[in-house]
Amino acid sequence: MSVEVWLCRDEDLPAERAAELADRWLDDQEHATADRFVFDRDRRQYLASHVLVRRVLSLRTDVPEAQLRFWRSHRGRPFLEPPVGGWPLGDQGLDFNLSHTHGANVVGVSSHRRIGVDVEMVDREDMRSVDRVAEAFSAGEREWLAGLPEESRRREVLRLWVLKEAYAKARGLGLALPFDSFAFDLDLNGPVHGFHPPRDDPDGNWQFVELDAGDSIQLAVAVERLGTELCSVRLHRGFPALEPVLSS
């Protein structure tokens, strides 16, 4: 089964519809978290992203959205909890990951492989000081970036950031993993062609995919490799239809 990635922009799921589905599907802890947001835009983003997670996972498991249960690692990474009686479609060993930024939500799902996703808007304000952001990267990455024209450097800094976030999230470490402890080899307008893992991941057996999500969005996926096997990564756009159609 391929890795599936769902990209849902805010306009794909109106705020009123997101709130309605959240009322039906989210658990008490999620509702409590949503209620703590001060700004409506942040609460809307939270509801939309968590509704999207439940819809995508329901499609893959055939478990109704409101019946899905989760547990979290000590670092806060969520995992699916098996339902009483087992999975209707059998245990697929599903792993999933969520990322959201202002205006966009992304969920990645894989079988028997760890997965991490990250999405950022190209015009993100705190990415405009590229030299400051790049200070978090490895010496080799900083040297490569320094030789690029300014506009290219800004985009490549964002590419590196999103790739690093996706990998760190797949590992379940997030920002606890120093971004200068591992590195990528990139080409302008080309795919990732090299990965130098951190010391605690000596094999570094990962597949990295950058998906074409439009000029305004940078989207990356990190997927655990099983031996030399590569997997296909399918990008879906919009909010999944509510008809009970199962993914294949």
**Per-block average pLDDT, block size 10, for the chain (248 residues)?**
89 94 96 95 95 97 96 90 93 95 94 95 69 90 92 90 96 91 92 94 94 89 90 94 54
Contact 226, 120 (CB under 8 A): no
- Token pair belonging to 34: 């949503």
pLDDT at 49: 96
What is the pLDDT at residue 237? 95
* DSSP-derived secondary structure for 176-221: GS-TTSSEEE--TTS---EEE--TT-TT--EEEEEE---TTEEEEE
Question: Class assignment of domain 1-113+231-242?
Answer: alpha beta
C-beta separation of 163 from 222 below 8 A: yes
Q: What is the pLDDT of residue 154?
A: 87
In the chain, which residues fall in CATH 3.90.470.20?
1-113+231-242, 116-225
* Residue 122: predicted pLDDT: 82
pLDDT, position 103: 85
Alpha carbon distance 133, 211 (integer Å)? 22
pLDDT at position 125 = 62
Question: The domain at 116-225 falls in which architecture?
Answer: Alpha-Beta Complex (3.90)
pTM greater than the 0.85 cutoff: yes
With a CB cutoff of 8 Å and minimum separation 6, the contacts of 44 are 10, 15, 18
The widest CA-to-CA distance across the chain, in whole angstroms, is: 58
At residue 245, the pLDDT reads: 41
DSSP letter (8 states) at residue 15: H
